[in-house]
Amino acid sequence: MQYVIVGIGGQGILFSSKVLGKIALSRGESVMGSEVHGMAQRGGSVISHFKIGQYKSPLVKAGEADALLAFDQNEAVRNLHFLRNGGSLIVNVHDAAALGNEHLKAYIREHDIRVYPLEGYELLKKHMNGNFLFLNVLIVGAMCGAGVGNVSYEEVRNAVRELSPAKFADANMKVLELGYEALKGV
pLDDT tens digits, residue range 97-138? 888 899 999 999 999 999 999 999 999 999 999 999 999 999
Which CATH number is associated with domain 2-183?
A: 3.40.920.10
Q: Tell me if the pTM is above 0.85.
A: yes
| Buried/exposed code over 69-90 (b: 16+ C-beta within 10 A; e: otherwise) | bbbbbebbbebbebbbeebbbb
Report how far apart, in Å, the C-alpha atoms of 162 and of each of 39, 54, 83 are: 26, 26, 30
- Cα 53 to Cα 78: distance, rounded to the nearest angstrom: 26
Please give the mean pLDDT across all residues of the chain.
Answer: 92
Residue 73, C-beta contacts closer than 8 angstroms, at least 6 positions apart: 91, 92, 93, 94, 95, 98, 99
